[in-house]
Amino acid sequence: MYNALKTDLAEFLGITKDALHIHIGLAIFFGLVVVLRRSPSSILPWLGLLAFELVNELMDIFHWHQGTFSFEIGDSLKDVINTMIWPTVALLTFRFVERRRRASVVTPAEGSSK
């Protein structure tokens, strides 16, 4: 049923399930940034998304399909990568920008008189 819901949502939006992982992953990541009141450079929203995605994939990895049980580790790994790639890029980019900002703060020159 859960898998059918995701399929229906992807069809309704006119996108593939892979694209759905990307869009939902970004929405959850930035939603967690807002809810947790953290910067996108904080690891907490990223970890929250990772936890959500791992639970999602555990639900997907073992499922009944047309009366048979299937185990699909390859598809699950691809889904984790699709979900986490752009939030990871965002996390690293925001961290890089914050470090550059801190480094560019004007500091008193060495040897200047007080």
Q: Which residue has the tokens 């980019």?
A: 93
Average pLDDT along the chain: 87
- Residue 112 or residue 15, greater confidence: 15
Domain of 40, in residue numbers: 2-93
pTM: 0.81
d(CA 2, CA 17): 13
6 part of a folded domain: yes
- Cα 73 from chain centre: 19
Q: Decide the pairing of beta strands 68-71 and 62-65.
A: antiparallel
46 part of a folded domain: yes
98 part of a folded domain: no
Question: What confidence tens digit (pLDDT) does each residue in 20-67 have?
Answer: 999 999 999 999 999 999 999 999 999 999 999 999 988 877 665 555
71 part of a folded domain: yes
d(CA 104, CA 42): 20
Q: What integer pLDDT is reported at residue 66 of this predicted model?
A: 57
| Domain total of the chain | 1
13 part of a folded domain: yes
Q: Which residue has the tokens 């914050």?
A: 98
